[in-house]
Structure 1
């Protein structure tokens, strides 16, 4: 492993596990932690995470829910490979499998209409042709997949009554609701996320259900920071969830040691 690779403890992110991150690529943030927590009520055995990146959502979910099959799809090979390393590190190969590919081809990679839930933290911004393509811009902008691609592939993977969880930007909500309707996904609940009380929301959490159109629940906004700049009690509660220890196998421990020496 190169000196750009770091090993992150996830105990403060509500998970008992660890994860490799490449500091030269797009690293996970609070949005991934919030999405995993929002999806913590998932019931079912088979989950798929699209735009999985370094595997943060599958690994966080593995510490929260009981699902025995958690699949992740990642477009960029080196990032997908890093996710696989993290899965092995945490002895989760029996529960998590990472697949390299474009989510637009999800049903060519995975079985259609078989997933109990799909999660996704997709690129938030529409493609800007003036921005050079690189690992970070691919994660942030709709260069290789659009919002519609995300919704279509999610609907294709889900079984009837399967749950869909996504975090996105509030300014895309109009488009999101149109696409949910188009692909027969009924919005069940949404929650806006604001940096501080009375500040403009910067993220939105959403849950929908395939083939059902329930009454939409608009939950109270989630505030990230107090006026003093420290996390609110609710954010602290999310970050403290499931702080239990797991043991790493001998091979994984040796990998950690080698990585530390290479840095």
Structure 2
């Protein structure tokens, strides 16, 4: 059997348990891994050569709060992990936008395995219109793009601002979010001033914030925020996360 012939997550887990060698060989041939989402009982397929779920993905997935039936838009959905987290909280309509076509196919496959009704749109978020999401989530590229003359790899596109910088992300969120909607973003802690300024510029206020520290370093490495459209000022800074080695 080939990996894309699997029709449910239960079937994948059954194969993993009853035919471990054949399952491992199938993954090796497709350059895939089969991993669980931290803090959940969900599994998903990931491409080894592409951006893979990391600590930031898990922290954002567990930080965001989704109400039953809400429309959730994931900008830069990659393999669909954040939409899987949203589904655990009862999200209604799930929409993912991803510029890398191979990642789109994998996201759609992962969501289908879990019987989650989702739309995965292949393309640039700047070209998306006609959506008003109750909640927008994003684990965006963090780093400035290197020399543009060098063709980026899949992993570089996910980590560097070749196609999506922070200002463009906030602009797109402001255009696609519903009135009084919320967004959840994880980013580098040293970009917090930019986050605050850009969100306020687009009529959004940070309502909840959590810093993430590496126990071996004095400065925060990441920040996770919840911002709400047309909200009054006032932000809760919740207990930080300390990552241990």
When normalised by structure 1's length, the TM-score is: 0.77
Contact 1:43 / 1:116 at 8 angstroms: preserved in 2? no
1:122 paired to 2:146: no
Does the C-alpha gap of structure 1 residues 197 and 127 become closer, same or farther in structure 2, counting only changes over 3 Å?
closer
Contact 2:71–2:134 (Cα < 8 Å) also in 1: yes
> What is the aligned counterpart of 2:85 among 55, 60, 64?
60
- In structure 1, how many angstroms separate the alpha carbons of the residues matched to 2:171 and 2:185? 13
Structure 2 equivalent of residue 208 of structure 1 = 227
Q: Report the CA distance shift for 1:44/1:158 in structure 2 as closer, same or farther (over 3 A).
A: farther
1:112-149 per-position Cα deviation (integer Å, ceiling 9, x unaligned): 4x211100000011222266411011001100111111
| Equivalent residue number for residue 70 of structure 2 | 45
Can you give the 5+ residue segments of structure 2 that lack an aligned partner in the other structure? 4-28
Bigger drift between 116-125 and 181-190 goes to: 181-190
**Does the Cα contact within 8 Å between 1:44 and 1:116 map onto a contact in 2?**
no
CA contact (8 A) 1:9 1:17 kept: yes
Any runs of at least 4 consecutive aligned residues in structure 1 with deviations exceeding 2 A, and if so which?
Answer: 14-17, 40-44
- Secondary structure in 1 matching 2:205: strand
Aligned position for 2:178: 159
Show the counterpart of 2:6. Answer: none
- Once the two structures are superposed, residues 196-227 of structure 1 have per-residue CA deviations (whole angstroms, 9 ceiling, x without a partner) of 177321110001001123312222221122xx
3-state DSSP class of the match of 2:30?
A: coil
> Superposed, which structure 2 residues align to 1:85-100 within 5 Å?
85-92=109-116, 94=117, 96-100=118-122
What are the equivalent positions in structure 2 for 1:175-254 lying under 5 Å apart? 175-196=194-215, 199-225=218-244, 229=245
Matches of 1:201 and 1:194 in 2, distance apart?
5
Matches within 5 A, 1:2-151: 2-10=29-37, 13-42=38-67, 44-63=69-88, 65-92=89-116, 94=117, 96-107=118-129, 111-112=130-131, 114-129=132-147, 132-151=151-170
Aligned CA RMSD, in angstroms, stands at 1.8
Kept after mapping to 2: 8 A contact 1:189/1:217: yes
Matched residue, 1:247? none
Q: Which runs of 5+ in 1 are unaligned?
A: 230-263
**What is the DSSP-based 3-state SS (H/G/I as helix, E as strand, rest coil) of the residue aligned with 1:21?**
strand
**Cα deviations across residues 55-91 of structure 1 (Å, max 9, x unaligned)?**
110012212x112111111110011101111112222
* Cα deviation, residue 106, structure 1: 2.4
Q: Give 1:38 shift.
A: 0.8
Are the counterparts in 1 of residues 77 and 138 from structure 2 also a CA contact under 8 Å? yes
The alpha-carbon distance between structure 1 residues 41 and 99, as it changes in their structure 2 partners (threshold 3 A), is closer
The higher-RCO structure (CA 8 Å, 6+ apart) is 1
Aligned length: 217
